Structure 1
Amino acid sequence: MGASGWEYYVPYQEDLGAALDALRQKVFEAQDYYWDPWDEDNADEARVRPSTLDQLWEDEQVQEEGTHSILDMHRMLRRGEDPDFGTVEPVQPVEAYRMAGTDRLTRAHVQAIEPLAGRRWFGRCAVLHDSHGCPEEIYFWGFSGD
């Protein structure tokens, strides 16, 4: 299938990790992720979607192929921590300035910062501001899945 790009906008909150957790729960509950309903070992039997995130990640096919969504990201990186599989890294002010010419990003800057998420199985997030420079929303984006 190959990797899929994904993006989400959520209302701003100071705790980016909590925002990530809430987004993951919302996407899971909405079933807005890739799920192959067919059992490869038994073509006559459909697979039932899991009822919890833990059950989702117990599924061997999901472990191998991912969900092609924010569900493939498991935690927010702390400042100075190295990016790793399934992590989301916030855009730093120096990156924002280099890519968009400002450290007060808005939706108008999204296209300029999108190249910052060029690696698979790794996400980024950026705080986006309103016209008065106040934090308004968080933009999550990345690529995952096989």
Structure 2
Amino acid sequence: MGAHPWHYFFPYSTDVNSALQALREQEFRTGRFGLATLRTLAYNLGLLETFDEEFSHSEESPEELIEEYGSVQAAIETVLDEYAEDGTNSILDMLEVSVVPKLSAVSPLSESDLLELFGTDKPTKEMVISSLIEEQNPQAWQKFWESIDRGEGRYIIVYRGNQPVEIFFAGYSFD
């Protein structure tokens, strides 16, 4: 099927792993993972009817999974097991923060990469959106997304002035 990119902005925390885990819980509770993510993509591409014919939607809701397995973490682990081969197409696939790129982890961009992509080591949200989401800087967009392998993620601290305000998480699904 091919890897799918994903990205999120989340309020800044000095503890990036805590922010990652809070984002994972948020996305789990809203059900934005797995087939739901692909269904949204199919809708945006005008392929919803074909998608609905191909895939069954018998998945339990996040609330049902939490109740069944006793905690959010146990429910997320169950979902990860269910989607083990292809991943969830979401931040749920990222289990930890790592100083170097690796599977199922988000890692920071280096200061030199930030300077190359944005001309500063304190990029604003507008810079991140225009370069990495809207592709207004094709070279930056290509360098960033091509540096990420399937099943990996990156994070960037986003600034307003000299104050960190958000964390941008981005990556690719496993398949």
Bin the TM-score by the shorter chain.
0.7 to 0.9
CA distance in 2, matches of 1:29, 1:44: 20
Which structure's residues are more often strand, by fraction? 1
The root-mean-square deviation of aligned C-alpha atoms, in Å, is 2.2
Using the size of structure 1 for normalisation, the TM-score is 0.81
Identity, % of aligned positions: 30
Aligned length: 134
Listed as ranges, the matches of 1:40-59 within 5 Å are 46-49=58-61, 50-51=65-66, 52-59=75-82
- TM-aligned CA deviation for residue 145 of structure 1: 3.4
Does structure 1 retain, via aligned residues, the 8 Å contact 2:101–2:153? no
User: Is it true that 1:124 corresponds to 2:154 in the alignment?
Assistant: yes
Which structure's residues are more often helix, by fraction? 2
Which amino acid is the alignment partner of residue 90 of structure 2?
S
Does structure 1 retain, via aligned residues, the 8 Å contact 2:80–2:88? no
Unaligned runs of at least 5 residues, structure 2: 37-54, 67-74, 133-139
Listed as ranges, the matches of 1:71-86 within 5 Å are 71-78=92-99, 82-86=100-104
Does structure 2 retain, via aligned residues, the 8 Å contact 1:116–1:124? no
- TM-aligned CA deviation for residue 135 of structure 1: 0.5
Aligned to 1:145: 174
C-alpha distance after superposition, 1:83-135 (max 9, x if no partner): 211110112212101221111111132115553243221101100000x2211
User: Which range moves more in the overlay, 27-36 or 108-117?
Assistant: 108-117
Spell out structure 1 runs of 4+ moving beyond 4 A: none
Using the size of structure 2 for normalisation, the TM-score is 0.69
CA distance in 2, matches of 1:101, 1:47: 45
**SS of equivalent residue, structure 2 residue 60:** coil
